[in-house]
Amino acid sequence: MTEEKSIFSKIIDKEIPTDIVYEDEKCIVINDIHPKARVHLLIIPKKPIPSLFELMPEDKDCMGHMMLLLPQLAQTHGLDGFKTQINTGESGGQEVFHIHIHLLGN
């Protein structure tokens, strides 16, 4: 039995069209379809890591890359401050089990 791809994996594989804000070899950035702020971006690694619980030592480069990308994205979108959020597990509010960072700012 194969696991079904997450919506984020389908977006990364260009199976679902979306407006891509930024993309490189490690991650993709899209606008959240249900924004909670004027700027609400999702920074998604191309590697399908289900949640922070499944993070492995070899993922630190990708996660560090995404963290360093956050202030650049904020500045590009005219923000002088922002909030980040990573929901982990169902009880932590995670809805898509492909790790992602929310960047929110007004």
Q: Is the pLDDT of residue 2 over 80?
A: no
Kindly give, in sequence order, each residue whose CB lies less than 8 Å from that of residue 73, ignoring residues fewer than 6 positions away.
Answer: 21, 22, 29, 41, 43, 103
User: In the CATH scheme, what is the homologous superfamily, with its name and number, of domain 7-105?
Assistant: HIT-like (3.30.428.10)
The label of the residue with tokens 């791809």 reads 5
- The torsion angle over the Cα atoms of residues 33, 26, 8 and 2, rounded to 10 degrees, is 180
- If you average pLDDT over residues 92-98, what whole number do you get? 97
Of 40, 77, 98, 100, which one is the catalytic site residue?
Answer: 100
Q: What is the per-residue pLDDT for 3?
A: 67
Check residue 97 and give its pLDDT. 97
Average pLDDT over the chain, rounded to an integer: 96
**Neighbouring-strand partners of residue 89:** none
The rounded distance, in Å, linking the Cα atoms of 63 and 85 is: 13
Q: What are phi and psi of 4, to 5 degrees?
A: -75, 140
Taken in order 100, 30, 23, 96, is the CA torsion positive or negative?
A: positive
Q: Break the chain into its structural domains and give their ranges.
A: 7-105
The count of other CB atoms within 10 Å of the CB of residue 80 is 7
Q: Is 100 a catalytic residue?
A: yes
The answer to whether the CB of 67 falls within 8 A of the CB of 103 is no
